[in-house]
Structure 1
Amino acid sequence: MTAPLQGQMMDVPLTVSALLTHAARFYGSVEIVSRRIEGDLHRYTYRDCERRAKQLAQALLGLDVQPGERIATLAWNGYRHLEAYYGTTGIGAVCHTINPRLFPDQIVFIINDAQDSYVLFDTPFAPLVDMLAPQCPHVRGWIALTDDAHRPDMRTPVLSYETLLAPHDGAFDWPRIDERSASYLCYTSGTTGHPKGALYSHRSTMLHAYGAALPNALALSARDVVLPVVPMFHVNAWGIPHAAPLAGAKLVLPGKDLDGRSLHELMEAERVTFSAGVPTVYLGLLAHMKETGARFSSLERTVIGGSACPPAMLRTFEDDYRVEVIHAWGMTEMSPLGTLVKLTSEEAQRPPLVRRALREKQGRAVFSVDMKIVGDDGQELPWDGVAFGDLHVRGPCVIDRYYGADTSPLIDGWFPTGDVATLDPDGFLHITDRSKDVIKSGGEWISSIDVENIAIAHPAVAEAACVAVAHPRWTERPLLVVVKRPHADVTRDELLAFYTDKVVRWWIPDDVVFVDELPHTATGKLQKLKLREQYRHHRLPSALAADDCPLADSTADADARAAGPVHEGIPARRSRR
């Protein structure tokens, strides 16, 4: 058999450093603006960013950081965090972003599981670092992302980032790296057991950046001013720190101040055209707009993911402020973008209600993602918009296995997402249910199993079930349904107080209902579907308090969300395994 004819093209590896080099050379004067932890506004250019990223690379090499070593970050969206993205990966090390909102025990597990060599952190996380450091023996050093003048007084010995960079000049050539070597390590939220790592490659990161920037995805260009509200510790801010320099777009990084007033002021001052974030943050932004009568003078479009975009929010953005909403879905295991809603010219001509129904779905797959739905027998189901089954995905930006795992979760080469969905003939994805029972609150997952286990540990509780109940502000909040032990007694407030110091505050259920028994299957498993149906009209105390929120859905909308299909959003999606 004749050997295939090989192409005669340069063998240039797809590496992350090429993105920043491209931006520095061809969009070198384009700004990166950051609201700093120190309180001021910092400005510099892509050209400056590459020079400082190279200074960091030199500094890490001076610390004897080797290719493949994990360098962790605990930081908000800012220019130093962006430099860490490129300075670490540029020398073949792995940038490991850590979500500081996780419970400290989870962060300790993640740092130790990854065997991080150094941890770069923003100064507000100094108390957290003092808590973590004694429990993380693999960490050789902790680096405060500031200068000596602002270095916090801590028990833990720390280096100053600026002092670390100062001896180096940035006159450095990025080394040639195998494009299949590791680039970033992002962990799931550990909703059912320990968090699991998704280890991306340079090749997958580059392909994801290309797919994200396409017109049918984020549609970024050099004319855009991009403000990622989604944190850079949350699945690489949905790929925006890579897609923006690829397109030559100006970046605006908001730091830790994500309240409505701060975001609006920054958007207006920097003439932001594109933003991306979870519904909870945008509720605060739009509430500020309504209260003050403010308008957007430059914002054209926003990606909303992490959890379903409430219909009321979509209507407010588009009808009141003429801002296009791009609904999106994805997973940590997918790098993370999976689907986005962009209508074809024909779909854009359909009646308004039909268009709105399409925009509330999850949309079409981005380039590099393929998908299918399968039945209980594992056979693929038709794309008719009616048949629903388990959603499976595959592609060069989808994991093959979890970090450190010996076995792969793939089924016949496809990754099972844990969602149940339909696909219509035009490729529109509509997620209709969850195959596991995690709860999505404000863009973050809550483990129903962990919540139940704490309740059962109370001496007065015989059995407990935690289910999601619709909430006008947070999309979902946990409701605890409890069976007491015979002759035992406990009040709602006493049981909720039992959670103090056992989980992060936002995992604590919003309400407790006491019952005589819980529904079970023939094999003794809890029937949570029945519980969700039974309590879908339950009005949580916090929901009643949120009823006067200017963007809260009506009771009918909330009931419809609880009873009907539950949509998922973008990368904050986590594994439920």
Structure 2
Amino acid sequence: MQGLMMQQPLLVASLLTHAERHHGEQKIVSRRVEGDVHRYTYRQLAKRARRMANALGTLGVKRGERIGTLAWNGYRHMELYFAVSGSGSVLHTLNPRLHVDQLAYIIEHAEDRVLFFDLTFLPLIESVARRVKSPKVFVAMTDRAHMPQADDFGGMLMCYEDLIEQSDDVFEWPLLDENSASSLCYTSGTTGNPKGVLYSHRSTVLHTYAAALPDAMNCSARDVILPVVPMFHVNAWGLPYIACMVGAKLVFPGPALDGKSLYELIEQEQVTMSAGVPTVWQGLLAHVDALGATFSSMRRTVIGGAPCPTAMTDAFQNRHQVEVLHAWGMTELSPIGTICSFKAHQQSLPMPQRHALQAKQGRSLCGIDMRIVDANGDELPWDGESPGDLQVRGHWVTQQYFGADVVSPLCDGWFPTGDIATIDRDGFMQITDRSKDVIKSGGEWISSAAIENVAYLHPEVSMAVCIAARHPKWDERPLLLVVKKSGSELAGDELLSFFNGRVARWWTPDAVVFVETVPLGATGKVLKNQLRDQFGEYYLPA
């Protein structure tokens, strides 16, 4: 017997409809590329999104066609999130930090029909336009007064605000199949060409529900949310959708992501919650500490994209009373898989044990299942000690990459993440390494992430990266690469002595190499493959 309940599809447009109806006067604040600050409401967002949906129809865009965006976090980008997906097309967010050849490959592979871009990226767009055939129309996300003089678009450069003004705000969001595609995001492609992950309306809405829960990002209508994580990277971890669902005030930073700009925006708009990668938070903390200031409103931050150093957690929580929620996810997971929020019995643990828990990536959101397996595919126990390959499955996990000729990556119905992890008896997962980053010395594994966490505890270390370097006796040994803080005279022997008692002696790196910078990828992650190419034979005889 079937249940006697209404059947309504889970659609991205329903999130905006809800925000307009129930939180219409809530504010959205955006720092613009043009240099000013824009303010309006969810009601105005919905009206302009409907205008843009009509404009897409005027341009001849059909359901299922991909629409590219190359844009910062801002209200116009937010409008496209709903105008494109809500009208039945596919929102394809492009990462401007990728090399122009990678961008051209992605645009051609996705067969983007229209490409929207912020003015910041005009030179990049001009380079891309000469390399691709697929976009038929380019749209500058600005008004007529700021339109550029550009000759590389074959007469097909249009103005965003012109499209808005020329279109009607009466538009009925179509009743789509909830399993139809809503958005497309490509992996960063540090090894080989990027791969496309095609999200559905259903997977996006379910991810939104789960990520907003109290034991996840804990978002509500009382929050002021600043998504520092880019809207071009896995839909800003779902925060634009979450804000609509709960009715939170949204604050968009635009292109200015330095510590000074972020701190001023947080204080001016009384931000309560933010989310971003560790490299961005380093700049914010450095600026706040240099001022001798603190945060008057911010009460929690979600940190993901790379392991969060213990020193960063301590700085936020002990010096600034900002709760840190350590999170883990992947493009293939829409992206959130786990968030580290305490269970009731863990609240009263001694502080050292609480800090040790917060170093973990946390427990699964409802809708995500995970396991760890050995080399034979046999499941390993949840004892917090047995490391294995992390695999996941769930409502918003990809089962196949975008493209007709792509083979499914699943193993017995599970997605292999490429991470080495442990899971404790409370279900808290901790990544000990990427499978390609783990160091195998004398037949035993060493966690490069654990080495980096210790290095970050030293007050004169700005950035730390541990890689495997080939060794004539032990096959591989850990090599520590360090960027010192400004003015530091830290020596290698001094830093290695700092490891005494903090890790097993044989885990301690054999050497420290001080570098000016470390290479970062398009999403802010350290490119260890480049460092291995440069320093991977450091211990071998010349």
The Cα shift of 1:209 comes to: 0.2
Separation in 2, partners of 1:348, 1:86:
39
Separation in 2, partners of 1:191, 1:575:
8
Q: Contact conserved, 2:300 with 2:325, CA < 8 A, in 1?
A: yes
Separation in 2, partners of 1:143, 1:243:
27
1:535 aligned to 2:479? yes
- TM alignment of 1:101-116, pairs within 5 A: 101-116=97-112
Gaps of at least 5 residues in structure 1 are: 440-466, 482-517, 521-526, 566-570
Q: Contact conserved, 2:468 with 2:478, CA < 8 A, in 1?
A: no
Aligned counterpart, 2:338: 339
SS in 2 for 1:314: helix
- TM alignment of 1:30-49, pairs within 5 A: 30-49=26-45
Distance 1:572 1:16, change over 3 A: farther
Q: Contact conserved, 1:383 with 1:423, CA < 8 A, in 2?
A: yes
Separation in 1, partners of 2:340, 2:80:
32
The Cα shift of 1:392 comes to: 0.4
Q: Contact conserved, 2:393 with 2:414, CA < 8 A, in 1?
A: yes
The Cα shift of 1:437 comes to: 3.8
Q: Contact conserved, 2:73 with 2:254, CA < 8 A, in 1?
A: yes
Deviation larger for 297-306 or 399-408: 399-408
- TM alignment of 1:17-416, pairs within 5 A: 17-157=13-153, 158-404=157-403, 405-416=405-416
The Cα shift of 1:142 comes to: 0.8
Q: Contact conserved, 1:391 with 1:419, CA < 8 A, in 2?
A: yes
Aligned counterpart, 1:418: 418
The Cα shift of 1:576 comes to: 12
Distance 1:548 1:305, change over 3 A: farther
Separation in 1, partners of 2:313, 2:246:
27
Aligned residues between the structures:
491
The Cα shift of 1:78 comes to: 0.2
The Cα shift of 1:368 comes to: 1.2
Separation in 2, partners of 1:315, 1:575:
26
Corresponding letter in the other structure for 1:295: T
Match among 2, 5, 24 for residue 6 of structure 1? 2
Q: Contact conserved, 2:437 with 2:467, CA < 8 A, in 1?
A: no
Q: Contact conserved, 2:467 with 2:528, CA < 8 A, in 1?
A: no
The Cα shift of 1:434 comes to: 1.6
The Cα shift of 1:253 comes to: 0.3
Which digits, 9 at most, give the CA deviation of each residue in 1:164-198, with x for residues without a partner? 11111211110111100001100001011000001
Separation in 2, partners of 1:44, 1:292:
32
Distance 1:190 1:229, change over 3 A: same
The Cα shift of 1:396 comes to: 1.0
SS in 2 for 1:165: helix
Q: Contact conserved, 1:192 with 1:576, CA < 8 A, in 2?
A: no
Corresponding letter in the other structure for 1:390: D
The Cα shift of 1:310 comes to: 1.2
Separation in 1, partners of 2:495, 2:528:
30
Distance 1:257 1:544, change over 3 A: closer
Which digits, 9 at most, give the CA deviation of each residue in 1:328-384, with x for residues without a partner? 111000000011110012101011100110001110011211000111111111111
Separation in 1, partners of 2:528, 2:184:
18
Distance 1:36 1:564, change over 3 A: farther
Distance 1:56 1:315, change over 3 A: same
SS in 1 for 2:344: coil
Q: Contact conserved, 1:190 with 1:575, CA < 8 A, in 2?
A: no
Separation in 2, partners of 1:183, 1:240:
16
Separation in 1, partners of 2:380, 2:487:
41
Separation in 1, partners of 2:264, 2:220:
23
Separation in 1, partners of 2:527, 2:258:
29
Q: Contact conserved, 2:466 with 2:479, CA < 8 A, in 1?
A: no
SS in 1 for 2:420: strand
Distance 1:474 1:68, change over 3 A: farther
The Cα shift of 1:31 comes to: 0.3
Corresponding letter in the other structure for 1:388: P
Structure scoring higher RCO (CA < 8 A, sep ≥ 6) equals 1
Distance 1:247 1:548, change over 3 A: farther
Separation in 2, partners of 1:564, 1:204:
43
Q: Contact conserved, 1:438 with 1:576, CA < 8 A, in 2?
A: no
Separation in 2, partners of 1:122, 1:45:
21
Gaps of at least 5 residues in structure 2 are: 440-447, 510-522, 530-542
Which digits, 9 at most, give the CA deviation of each residue in 1:307-339, with x for residues without a partner? 111111110110011010000111000000011
Distance 1:547 1:13, change over 3 A: farther
Corresponding letter in the other structure for 1:394: R
Separation in 2, partners of 1:117, 1:35:
28
Distance 1:143 1:351, change over 3 A: same
Q: Contact conserved, 2:115 with 2:138, CA < 8 A, in 1?
A: yes
Separation in 2, partners of 1:284, 1:194:
31
Cα-Cα RMSD: 2.9
Distance 1:58 1:548, change over 3 A: farther
Identity, % of aligned pairs? 51
